[in-house]
Amino acid sequence: MNDIGHFIGGARVAGMSGRHADVFNPATGQATGRVALASAAELQRAVDGALAAQPKWAATNPQRRARVFMRFVALLNQHMTELTELLSSEHGKTVEDSKGDIVRGLEVAEFVCGIPHLMKSEFTEGAGPGIDMYSIRQAVGIGAGITPFNFPAMIPMWMFAPAIACGNAFILKPSERDPSVPLRLAELMMEAGLPAGVLQVVNGDKEAVDGILGHPDIGAVSFVGSTPIASYVYSEAAKTGKRAQCFGGAKNHMIILPDADLDMAADALIGAGYGSAGERCMAISVAVPVGEATADALIEKLVPKVEALKIGPYTDETADYGPVVTKAAKEKILSLVEKGVAEGAELVVDGRNFRMQGYEDGFFVGSCLFDRVTPDMEIYRQEIFGPVLSVVRAKDYEEALSLPTQHEYGNGVAIYTRDGDAARDFASRVPIGMIGVNVPIPTPLAYHSFGGWKRSVFGDLNQHGPDAIKFWTRTKTVTSRWPSGIKQGAEFSMPVMR
C-alpha cells in the first residue's frame, strides 16, 4: 500500500503524527494507499520553512517570478498524461475530465506569467504643492489554501499560482481523499525553479485546518468546499485577523425559455448535469423549462439521452462519467433520491439499482432524472453533488426567474433562449455570481474572476483574475514631499490638497 506524506522544505517527507486516512480507487472500492494526517508540529515545520523563504522570494523581481511559472506551464504540458492518470485513479473521473481539471488550473498559471503587469499600481504627480502620491502592492506574507476533492489539480492552482506569483509563500492543505496530484504539482514547481519553502503541501483533516486558521503567521486563507464549512473557516479566520475568501455550496439552475433550441439545451443539460458524476460546484442540477409544452418536449428529449449515458471506470475511454469519490458520497446521493421519491417527485429515469459488472464494490451511481420537482422538496433545496438532475416546471418567465433568485445559493445560473432582450433582462436581474447565456457551465476564464453570491461565498474577493491579485496583496499608499517644497513651521490644520 502506498504511503503518502507531505511536501515540506522542498521535498516529500513522511508523516510523523501516527495518524492516517485511507485513499481509495473509487472504481474498485479498494484502498490503494494511506495519507498521513499532519500534527500541529508538522504544520509548524511548514510555517517555519515558509517564514524563512518568503522575504527573499518577495524581493525577487516579478519578471523572475513569472519565469518560474512559464517553466511550470511547460512542465504541466510535458507531464499531462502522468497527471491525468494519477488524478483519475484517486478521484474516479474520466481521463478527459481529469485533463480538463488540470488545464483549467494551468490557465491560471499562464495568467500569472503576466505578474509584472498585474502588480503595477498607481502614481499621481503633483497631487499637492510639491507632493507626489503613489500606491504599491506588497505580498501578504504567508497564504494558505484548503481545497476540495472534486478538483484536486485545478483549485490548488487557482490558489497557489496567484499567491506565489505575488510574492507570498503558500501552504496547501488538499483533500485527503485524492492527495497525490497536489504533491506532484509541488514537485513540478520546484523543478520549475521555485525556491524550497515557498510552496508546502500539508495533508490532514480538521486538525490541520484548525491549525491553519489559528496560526498567527498565516495572513490569508482561501477555501473551497461546503457552505457550512466555508462559513466556519471564514469566521475562524476572522478571529485571528486573517483575510479570507471561502466558497461554499451551489444549486445551479438552467432556465429554458419556449424559444430555446431544445436539442442544444438538452445536450447542455446532459453534459453539465452528469459530467464528472455531478461532482462539480458549477454542475447544473436544476432544469427550469418555462411552460408545460416546453417541459414536456424537454423531458422527451432528455429521457433517452440520460438512459444512454455510459458509466464506467476511468480506464474505459468510452465512459461518460465514472464513480463518485467515496462510499459515503454514494450513500448520501441515493438517500436523497429516495427522499425525492418519498416527497412526490416523479423519477422518470431511475439509476438506483445500477451495478457495474466487474466493479461491484465501486462507488458508482446510476443516472437519475426527476420531473415535477417543487421548491419545497429536499432534492431541490440541497446540493446533491451526484448524477441527479431535477426538472422544476415554471408557468412563465417571472416564476422561472424567481427560483434561482430565492434559493439560498447563488453560484451559477444559465438561460437558454434566442431572445436577446430576455437574456439581457435575466442577466441584469438574477442575483447570481456567474451567468451563462446559452452556455451551460459559466465558469470564467483565468483572466476574469470566479465567485458566487449569497451563501455560495463568504468574503469580498473572488478566485483568480484581477480579484486574486488584490486578495493576495495589500495596498500601501505613499504620500511624498521633498525638502525644496516644504514650508517652514508647524501645520496644525487637517492637510487638504487645494
Residues belonging to the active site: 281
User: In 3D, which of 452, 447, 336, 322 has the Cα closest to residue 389?
Assistant: 336
Is 278 within 8 Å of 385 (Cβ atoms)? Answer: yes
Check if the beta carbon of residue 129 is closer than 8 Å to that of residue 483.
no
Q: Are 256 and 262 in contact (CB under 8 A)?
A: yes
CA 205 to chain centre: 18
Q: Which of 70, 228, 97, 227 is nearest to 154 (CA)?
A: 97
Q: What is the dihedral of CA 437, 439, 443, 447, to 10 degrees?
A: -70
Q: How far apart are CA 319 and CA 92, in angstroms?
A: 11
Cα dihedral 148, 154, 157, 159 sign? negative
Q: At what angle do helices 62-78 and 154-165 cross, to 10 degrees?
A: 160
C-alpha distance from residue 223 to each of 98, 123, 155, 160, 401 (Å): 21, 34, 9, 12, 29
The span from the CA of 364 to the CA of 25, in Å, is 12
Q: In what order do the strands lie in the sheet with 11-13?
A: 11-13, 6-8, 199-201, 169-173, 142-146, 220-224, 243-247, 457-458
CB–CB of 455/410 below 8 Å? Answer: yes
176 close to 35: Cβ distance less than 8 angstroms: yes
Residue 115, exposed/middle/buried by CB under 10 A (0-12, 13-18, 19+)? buried
Q: How far apart are CA 294 and CA 261, in angstroms?
A: 11
**Rg of the chain taking only CA atoms, in angstroms:** 25
Q: What is the identity of the amino acid at 376? A: D
Distance CA 24, CA 361 (A): 11
* Alpha-carbon distances, residue 418 vs 13, 287, 422, 444 (angstroms): 56, 17, 9, 22
Cβ pair 354, 309 in contact under 8 A: no
